[in-house]
Structure 1
Amino acid sequence: MKTNEEIRSAFERVANSSESVTVIGSMNADYTVETERLPLPGETVKGGPLQILAGGKSANQASAAARIGTRVIMLGAVGDDANADFLLNELRKAGVDVSGVAHKPGPSGTTVITVDSHAENVIVYSAGSNAKVDADYVTAAASDITASRTLGLCLESPMPAVVQAATIAHQAGVTVLLNNSPFQKELPQELVDNADILLVNEHEMAQYLGIQPPANGDWSSIDWPDVALRMHASGFDEAIVTLGAEGSCILSYKDGLGEFVMIPSVTVRAVDTTGCGDAFMGAILGGLAADLSLLESARLAAYVAAYAATGLGAQTSYGSPQQILGQFRM
């Protein structure tokens, strides 16, 4: 009962907050096909009907945050193709402000996604208009960034634009949440210096810090205080590591010690895990903007991400607080 009350309260605080989130980055049309199993290299397998769904890591994060009641500004670029209107309209329906999105000649960003019967997926990304977001565009949008409480960044945009956004936000006291995805082993020092919290999955964390994955696959068995110390040495005093079905782990560095808190996952019958990580990050952004602690935000995000796994696609699977609470009978 206590957990139910805490999650309900967290949703209410997010919905009642007047603070906003800015997300800068990618918007993609996801060409999605379901199949019994994923093909091996060089193999052809039979798939179901093709679906074109709204995606892009940044757009997904913005949509997830807006769906739970956060005021969200989306910045980035779409092309001059039919997908541009489709992507912007889907974000508008979620409640995202897209008035600052640029329009560039050429195709919008796209991904090709194959989802198997176990809800696992493989994704190929084509940047399109996302590659045309530059530091000058970000500078021109500085007022949106500095007016927000939190800024969400991933690495589907050109690095100069990402670094510029983080720098503007950090100088204005805006909390910067960086999702190192698509993963890069080496991050520019300027980006690390201007980001407040790093969000990675367990495999990205291991590669980033040079940690050997557990032989038994049990991530709960690793030395998390040591991971927190390594994360601090890399430049991040706070980080969130998502662990799939095992939940997530919050890492922090305080008074010379590495600390961690495990957040359990929420059990659901998964249909498609595409976009669940983005739903998690969107909820973190919304929670932090509403003055929830990182721990409170991560607990809320566990439910937001679990609900997303029950539907096909990314943005199409995201829920409102009422839908999410109803799903888990809270």
Structure 2
Amino acid sequence: MSNRLPAVTVVGSINLDLIATAERLPTAGETIGGAVLSEQPGGKGANQAAAAARLGGSARIVGAVGSDAQGRRMLDALAAAGVDMADVALLPGATGTALIVVDRDGENQIVVCPGANSSLSLEGVEFGPEETVLCQLEVGLPVVLEAARRSAGYFVLNAAPAMDLPAELLERCDLVIVNETEYELIPALAEAKLVAVTYGKDGSAMFEHGRRVAEAPASAVTVANTIGAGDAFCAALVLALGAGLSYAEALAVANAVGADAVGDPSSQPDLARLGHYVGRTTATDSAR
């Protein structure tokens, strides 16, 4: 693995997570008592940027927060993780908020109120040829497509939450990252040039134009919170591939990082440097 990790620019959401932890998830129309409420910094964009920085990468975020106390708190959390926030806009109104219910097994239900995220703009933002640009779909699809068009380097899309994607966007993706449900909900991914799919306790795999070319098993872990685990996986996979690891090695490292994240109650967990996870992992390459 190269000692120099790639510079990652995340274009994405910054949210306050309001989390109710209950014995089980409610059914439609049902009220469940006895839950415990917590507040955490979150948003898929912020989670991925924080993870990339904690893993030792150079990370900046292009995003937006509201001019409220929650926005200032989200910025403080990103600064503490070591993320460059020069391209975060402070906008009138509310910071994005995610309402989350988590059960005792770590499964969750999430409703996102986008707030300032819905006004994110790339005006004045530049992407260099050495930067990896990482997007998700918690901000407007037009913003993601514009980022893909303007990216001069490696472009990665975490296609979550799942939605129909313009053909142009998929064509511009060097890598798409999804979970197994999202992979099934976006049939066009079967034709994409490179897709990483996560399967929870069954590990992860890499597909080239629909052909499975590498895989890695999951690490056994006690689940505390699954909310930030996929985001930590995304950041780790991007850094590992950029550092020169094979598909299978990079998947194995990302699985290990995701396992650490799922065992931590925070949506933006503390993580070791990426090198810590290399060599602890096992994987199988079909091709590279």
| Superposed pair shares fold, TM > 0.5 | yes
Structure 2 counterparts to residues 1-330 of structure 1, below 5 A: 13=2, 16-17=3-4, 19-134=6-121, 138-142=122-126, 145-169=127-151, 172=152, 174-184=153-163, 186-209=164-187, 231-232=190-191, 236-253=192-209, 258-315=211-268, 317-321=269-273
Q: How many residues align?
A: 279
SS at match of 2:142: helix
Q: Are the counterparts in 1 of residues 215 and 251 from structure 2 also a CA contact under 8 Å?
A: no
Aligned equivalents of 1:259 and 1:131: distance in 2?
36
Aligned equivalents of 1:269 and 1:105: distance in 2?
41
Aligned equivalents of 2:254 and 2:274: distance in 1?
15
Aligned equivalents of 2:172 and 2:21: distance in 1?
40
SS at match of 2:160: coil
TM-fit CA distance, 1:40: 1.2
Unaligned runs of 5+ in 1: 1-9, 211-229
SS at match of 2:255: helix
Q: Which of 1 and 2 has greater Rg?
A: 1
Change (3 A) 1:206 1:102: same
Quote the residue 1:5 is aligned against.
none
Aligned equivalents of 2:91 and 2:247: distance in 1?
36
Aligned equivalents of 1:36 and 1:324: distance in 2?
34
Q: Are the counterparts in 1 of residues 214 and 247 from structure 2 also a CA contact under 8 Å?
A: no
Aligned equivalents of 1:44 and 1:231: distance in 2?
40
TM-fit CA distance, 1:318: 3.6
Q: What whole-Å deviation, never above 9, does each CA across 1:30-56 have from its counterpart, x for those lacking one? A: 001111111111111124332110100
Identity rate, percent? 36
Aligned equivalents of 1:109 and 1:294: distance in 2?
34
TM-fit CA distance, 1:321: 2.9
Change (3 A) 1:17 1:189: same
* TM-score normalised to structure 1 length: 0.79
Q: What whole-Å deviation, never above 9, does each CA across 1:71-107 have from its counterpart, x for those lacking one? A: 0011111110101111111111111111111111100
SS at match of 1:42: coil
Change (3 A) 1:323 1:168: closer
* TM-score normalised to structure 2 length: 0.91
TM-fit CA distance, 1:260: 2.4
Q: What whole-Å deviation, never above 9, does each CA across 1:188-219 have from its counterpart, x for those lacking one? A: 12211211111111111112128xxxxxxxxx
Q: Are the counterparts in 2 of residues 24 and 152 from structure 1 also a CA contact under 8 Å?
A: yes
Change (3 A) 1:324 1:49: farther
Change (3 A) 1:18 1:252: closer
Quote the residue 1:219 is aligned against.
none
Change (3 A) 1:98 1:38: same
The structure in which a higher percent of residues are strand is 2
Q: What whole-Å deviation, never above 9, does each CA across 1:234-278 have from its counterpart, x for those lacking one? A: xx111101101100111114xxx9342221001111111111111
2:250 maps to a residue whose letter is S
TM-fit CA distance, 1:120: 0.8
RMSD in angstroms over aligned alpha carbons? 2.1
The structure in which a higher percent of residues are helix is 1
1:231 maps to a residue whose letter is A
Quote the residue 1:221 is aligned against.
none
Q: Are the counterparts in 1 of residues 22 and 36 from structure 2 also a CA contact under 8 Å?
A: no
Aligned equivalents of 1:116 and 1:323: distance in 2?
33
Aligned equivalents of 1:190 and 1:140: distance in 2?
23
TM-fit CA distance, 1:109: 0.6
Q: Are the counterparts in 2 of residues 119 and 270 from structure 1 also a CA contact under 8 Å?
A: yes
